[in-house]
């Protein structure tokens, strides 16, 4: 509204200014010419004055100029005894009673009008500012009507268990009497927890869509303001509106921004965020769940939430929305590929197998990137090649085909990557090699070996962990065998191998130094994979020294095993690396054919 008033006022001021300019131009054509009194007297003497009107201070009239053209004139009256001179030269004259009322009125009216409009504009601005101050306590939740939500459970894939638990909420909102007749009540709060991008917000909208209920959506950070008390006021206003719209759903996204444990990391224990959290706790206790108001929250950091939020009677039900398994990934890809033209070779099951650990948002990005890539290549449909390239781009970054790499470094990278792949192909329990590439990607990756797991795994044996270490060491060992030297390219491989070996000894009870005793590192946010604070050591210096020694022994043993394996397959290593240098990318079929050929030669077939 403020912009509208400002817009109208600007046009009004411009119109007034235009009228004044037009009036000035038009009046200028009929305005009398101001002349000196001496020139007027001379004109009278020359018989060029036709008529005059004499006022108390001024004389108006009509005269001729030297060329005989008539014009209106005006001069200041000086001589009071003027009538004699005018009579002598036959000038028609008359007296004038001056009325300056309208002149004075207009001279004051226009400035007053301008000042009034300026005052009106400023008052509007002040009222708008006051209104803004008055709305600080209003909640910022976006209200979506029950008829405007098109999301349904059919639009959510890869979270079947979560949908089953949330189906209860839908039943309660649509058939509350079925539960009330038995004396049961719906949980007041339902907390969706899981990694980023797994579809927590989408599930909340699907619940509202299935139930046909209004949906209040707000972020936890929207409650907190710089003004003390505003967050609590917004919480009260949100619950007041929700009661009026019941049955409905309140969805608070990123609940950890509002509901962190009180006193954690705070200099003062009574800050604005804590007041807002206290008000939320009070409101959740105060409303009756039988009214049909369901509170849903979402977070990927449940470990930092205040325990009072998670007790029974508040967020008393937690629903895990985890990363999808292989079947869930395939279902998600099928949903996002509905509006995409897929080629006959676009096997979504292969892409689902290649993307363990991908969230729903990641898979949606894969389909979109593949469509963009097919459009850039002027294709009519999205094929497996584009989907495969989209996965590679998401994992390793954009291809850097124009990056100049000298032939020696390229050769080292080729043998390094083939070393990884060869160990993976010859070690039982390893995932199958899907692709080997020496095309640089991202910021630092000069090449990569991509493996495709045949199934999702949730447990790993000691032999499988050792096999992972073998694959990670394969690249460095291949460099050492072929060039009698090592490079910095194995930095990340060594770091990951060390982490696995240390975890085997200190966390999984697979070592000899600690036996069954474990000293796990401090765990950070459960779904973010990083520690919020520096890890603290929980064992003595003597134990640390033994632990370091055993980790080194494990890595040395695995290196000896990988060295022996690659030395026995050196000819295959050279053949595959030579082929990789020619093509830059080797796919699974060609690579495994060369490995099988090398094994047949070794067996004498």
Compute φ and ψ for 346, nearest 5 degrees.
Answer: -80, 85
Of the candidates 584, 552, 317, 550, the residue with the CA atom closest to the CA atom of residue 438: 584
Q: Is 195 annotated as a binding residue?
A: yes
Of the candidates 125, 123, 121, 127, the residue with the CA atom closest to the CA atom of residue 10: 121
Of the candidates 434, 414, 422, the residue with the CA atom closest to the CA atom of residue 562: 422
Compute φ and ψ for 421, nearest 5 degrees.
Answer: -65, -40
**CA 66 to each of CA 45, 72, 104, 137: distance values in angstroms, whole numbers, following the listed order:** 13, 14, 36, 80
Verify whether residue 582 is a known catalytic residue: no
3-state secondary structure 548-584: HHHHHHHHHHHHHHHHHHHHHCHHHHHHHHHHHHHHC
Pair of tokens at residue 223: 């409650």
Q: Is 420 annotated as a binding residue?
A: yes
Helix (H, G, I), strand (E, B) or coil at 201: helix
Distance separating alpha carbons of residues 326 and 324, to the nearest angstrom: 7
Relative to beta strand 585-587, strand 432-437 is antiparallel
Q: Is 197 annotated as a binding residue?
A: yes
Residue recorded with tokens 């967020």: 315
Q: Is 198 annotated as a binding residue?
A: yes
Q: Is 201 annotated as a binding residue?
A: yes
Q: Is 194 annotated as a binding residue?
A: yes
Catalytic residue among 274, 386, 417, 550: 417
Distance separating alpha carbons of residues 240 and 336, to the nearest angstrom: 38
CA 193-198-202 angle, 5° bins: 90
CB 602 within 8 A of CB 517: no
Pair of tokens at residue 153: 């459970």
- The 10 Å CB-count burial string (b at 16+, else e) for 167-190 is eebbebbeebeebeeeeeebbbbb
Phi-psi region of 200 (alpha: psi -120 to 50; beta: other; left: phi over 0): alpha
**Positions at the binding site for Zn(2+):** 416, 420, 493
**Positions at the binding site for ATP:** 194-201
- The residues that are catalytic are 417
């Amino acid at each position: 509204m403020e912009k509208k008033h400002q817009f109208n006022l600007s046009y009004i001021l411009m119109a007034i200014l235009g009228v004044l300019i037009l009036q000035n131009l038009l009046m200028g054509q009929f305005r009398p010419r101001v002349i000196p009194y001496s020139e007027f007297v001379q004109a009278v003497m020359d018989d060029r004055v036709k008529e005059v009107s004499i006022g108390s201070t001024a004389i108006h009239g009509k005269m001729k100029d030297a060329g005989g053209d008539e014009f209106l004139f005006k001069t200041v009256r000086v001589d009071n005894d003027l009538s004699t001179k005018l009579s002598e030269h036959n000038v028609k004259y008359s007296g004038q009673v001056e009325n300056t009322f309208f002149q004075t009125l207009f001279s004051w009216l226009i400035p007053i009008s301008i000042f009034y409009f300026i005052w009106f504009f400023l008052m509007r601005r002040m009222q708008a500012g006051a209104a803004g101050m008055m709305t600080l306590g209003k909640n910022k939740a976006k209200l979506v009507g029950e008829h405007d939500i098109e999301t349904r459970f059919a639009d959510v894939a890869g979270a079947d268990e979560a949908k089953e638990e949330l189906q209860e909420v839908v039943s309660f909102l649509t058939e509350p009497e079925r539960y009330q007749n038995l004396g049961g009540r719906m949980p007041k709060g339902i907390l969706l927890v899981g990694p980023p991008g797994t579809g927590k917000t989408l599930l909340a909208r699907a619940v509202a869509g299935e139930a046909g209920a209004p949906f209040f959506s707000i972020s936890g950070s929207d409650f907190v303001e710089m003004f003390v008390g505003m967050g609590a006021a917004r919480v009260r206003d949100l619950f007041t509106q929700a009661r009026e719209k019941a049955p409905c759903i309140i969805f608070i996204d990123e609940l950890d921004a509002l509901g962190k444990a009180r006193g954690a990391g705070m200099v003062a224990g009574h800050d604005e965020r804590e007041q807002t959290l206290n008000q939320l706790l009070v409101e959740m206790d105060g409303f009756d769940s039988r009214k049909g108001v369901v509170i849903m929250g979402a977070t990927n950091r449940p470990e930092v939430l205040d325990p009072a939020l998670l007790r029974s009677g508040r967020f008393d039900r937690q629903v895990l929305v985890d990363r999808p398994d292989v079947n869930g990934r395939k279902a998600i890809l099928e949903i996002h590929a509905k509006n995409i033209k897929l080629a006959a070779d676009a096997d979504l099951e292969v892409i689902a197998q290649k993307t363990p650990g991908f969230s729903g948002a990641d898979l949606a990005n894969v389909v979109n990137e593949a469509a963009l890539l097919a459009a850039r290549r002027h294709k009519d449909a999205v094929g497996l090649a584009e989907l495969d390239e989209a996965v590679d781009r998401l994992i390793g970054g954009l291809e850097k085909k124009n990056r100049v790499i000298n032939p020696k470094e390229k050769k080292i990278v080729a043998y390094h990557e083939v070393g990884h792949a060869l160990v993976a192909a010859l070690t039982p329990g390893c995932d199958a090699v899907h692709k080997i590439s020496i095309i640089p990607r991202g910021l630092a990756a000069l090449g990569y070996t991509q493996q495709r797991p045949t199934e999702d795994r949730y447990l790993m044996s000691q032999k499988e962990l050792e096999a992972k270490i073998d694959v990670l060491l394969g690249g460095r060992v291949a460099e050492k065998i072929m060039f009698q030297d090592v490079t910095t390219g194995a930095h990340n491989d060594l770091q990951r191998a060390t982490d696995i070996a240390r975890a085997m000894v200190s966390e999984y009870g697979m070592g000899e130094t600690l036996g069954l005793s474990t000293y796990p590192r401090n765990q950070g946010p459960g779904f973010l994979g990083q520690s919020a604070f520096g890890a603290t050591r929980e064992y003595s210096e003597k134990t640390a020294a033994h632990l370091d020694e055993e980790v080194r022994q494990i890595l040395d043993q695995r290196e000896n095993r990988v060295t022996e394996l690659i030395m026995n397959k050196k000819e295959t290593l050279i053949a595959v690396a030579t082929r990789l240098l020619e093509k830059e990318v080797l796919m699974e079929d060609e690579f495994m054919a060369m490995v099988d050929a090398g094994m047949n030669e070794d067996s004498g077939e």
